[in-house]
Amino acid sequence: MAGRFEGRRAIVTGGVSGIGAGIAARLAREGARLSLWDADAAGLARACEGGSHTLRLDVTDAEAVQRAADATASALGGIDILIASAGITGPNATAWDYAVADWDRVIAVNLNGLYYCCRAVIPHMLRGGYGRIVNIASIAGKEGNPNAAAYSASKAGVIGLTKSLGKELATSGVLVNCVAPAAVETPLFSQMTAAQIDYMKSRIPMGRFGLVEEVAALVCWLASGECSFSTGAVFDVSGGRATY
């Protein structure tokens, strides 16, 4: 797919590790100019050495996100693609034992932060008459994982937001979709208990975790001009776990 994103300007949030980094690497290989938004200063420094535009950012700060979008549009000459990948898992606990502060933090990053990013970049895309937004949801947002109520609720919110945005923007040239991976081996596993990881694997009919490269392949199609008649949709990468 060399050159598929030639001339396109892409933002990847959470773009220096895990799924975000894998997506960013493929976009770059296929010709996109990148802006990586992340809270990881060391990771951003490494990415900057590779030639990417970078911004250290807390996505829970709506005003900072707006400034980041405006600065990125100025630096790259516009915004064509947003991959909203920044997220956290939060702790594993039953809903009634879940600390309110932990709940608020997961919702703030995974749902509110993603909304702030979409809200900030869409006007830039509308001015250009073209855009592709791909939000990273989760199979947990469809099925609800036990002992992960905040994460599941936040990702269900991402799915609902994606559907609303897809309808609002359907005739604008800006398409909005999301992907719902089952468990993919990333650094986020370090935030989970062994029991939670074993549970997630047991739910996947293929009997293995997904690969970052598999998610990136689907995301990059959704982020490309080849995706032209899908919007407000949810695409699974679940090894057979969800078939609806």
Q: Which has the closest alpha carbon to 180: 148, 158, 211, 205?
A: 158
Phi first, then psi: give them for residue 199, nearest 5 degrees. Answer: -60, -45
Burial call 24-48: b when 16+ CB within 10 Å, e when fewer: bbbbbebebbbbbbbbeeebbeebe
Active site residue 116: no
With both helix axes pointing from N to C terminus, report the angle between 62-76 and 113-128 in degrees, rounded to the nearest 10.
30
Which residue among the candidates 98, 115, 116, 151 is catalytic per the annotation? Answer: 151
Kindly report the length of the chain: 244
Check residue 54 and report its DSSP letter: E
C-alpha 146: how far from its chain's center?
22
Q: What positions carry a catalytic annotation?
A: 151
